[in-house]
Amino acid sequence: MTVLTLHDVTVTYPDGGHTVTALEHVSFSARAGELTAVVGESGSGKSTLLSVAAGLSSPDSGVVDVRGGTGMVFQSPNLLDSLTVREQLLVTDHIRGTRITRGRRRRADGLLARVGLEGYGDRRPHQLSGGQRQRVNIARALTGEPALLLADEPTSALDHRLSRRIVELLRGLTTDRGLATVLVTHDRSQLDLADRVVEMRDGTLVG
Ligand SMILES: Nc1ncnc2c1ncn2[C@@H]1O[C@H](COP(=O)(O)OP(=O)(O)OP(=O)(O)O)[C@@H](O)[C@H]1O
């Protein structure tokens, strides 16, 4: 099932008196249960692709269609220092005014176990390693049970071994949960874990 479709999408940014074309007539799709890696040089349009897919910016022309909710994983985990690991996963519910029931707590703990952080619920971010923080970030992105998971360079701050573990985790979650996962990465040594690799060059998709 196709979860994300971009059809003939063009995005420009104003740049002084000029405009920069970040995406030029791009068509792209991501399917449930598939990990799609997006590679390309700096400035080729990868972040812009994720941004329109997430609905954070709208295209100048073309159509973006998403079936289901979206979760996002950013390069740096952006965890809140004063909250426990479990609370990082519950804070969105709290802000929305949803009552934090025992069931929600249990679900948060289940997600933490799934990302390899069983028993870490009461710790605070400073008591975690960089890799563990990124795992919390991934668990948090999954709390709303999204159909689409967008990850923008989630391993760029990690060494090779830890990066591999994080991409393996994304690989497993994609399969188990039937996620449509789009992973933007510079790291070509993890591409064997992807179902599909697309390359961006100067705002267009090649290959
Ligand atoms: N807010 C903005 N204003 C003006 N130009 C922008 C803006 N955001 C991006 N651009 C330009 O659009 C193009 C695509 O940028 P984008 O960030 O999508 O590339 P990227 O492939 O994600 O790069 P990187 O790997 O460095 O993050 C670049 O030429 C960039 O300079």
Extract the tokens encoding 91. Answer: 């804070």
Buried b (16+ CB within 10 A) or exposed e, 35-44: bbbbbbeeeb
d(CA 88, CA 81): 9
Question: Which ligand 1 atom sits nearest the alpha carbon of residue 11?
Answer: 12
pLDDT band at 168 (very low <50, low <70, confident <90, very high): very high
Please tell me the distance between residue 124's alpha carbon and the centre of ligand 1 in angstroms: 34
* Exposure of 182 in the CB half-sphere (CA atoms within 13 A): 31
**Which residue from 158, 159, 155, 157 is spatially nearest to 193, judged by alpha carbons?**
155
Residue by residue, DSSP assigns 134-165 as HHHHHHHHTTT--SEEEEESTTTTS-HHHHHH
Q: How far is CA 171 from the centre of its chain?
A: 12
Closest approach atom of ligand 1 to CA 49: 18
| Distances from the Cα of 45 to the Cα of 81, 90, 110, 164, angstroms | 32, 33, 36, 24
Task: Please state the rounded mean pLDDT for residues 160-178.
Answer: 96
The answer on pLDDT for 20 being more than 90 is: yes
CA-203 nearest atom, ligand 1: 14
ipTM above 0.90, yes or no: yes
**% pLDDT > 90, the chain:** 84
CA 48 – ligand 1 centroid, Å: 7
Strand, helix or coil for residue 24: strand
Q: Whose CA is nearest to atom 31 of ligand 1?
A: 43
With CA atoms as reference, report the closest residue to 159 among 116, 189, 124, 196.
Answer: 189
φ/ψ of 17, rounded to 5, equals -85, -5
Q: What is the pLDDT of residue 39?
A: 96
Residue 186 CB neighbour total at 10 angstroms: 13
pLDDT in tens, 82-128: 999 999 999 877 777 777 788 888 999 999 999 999 999 999 999 99
Distance 147 CA to ligand 1 centre (A): 26
The best mutation among 9, 20, 56, 185 to test binding of ligand 1, ranked by most ligand atoms within 8 Å of the C-beta, falls on 20
Q: Under a CB-based contact definition with an 8 Å cutoff, are residues 30 and 198 in contact?
A: no
Q: Which two tokens stand for residue 13?
A: 């940014």
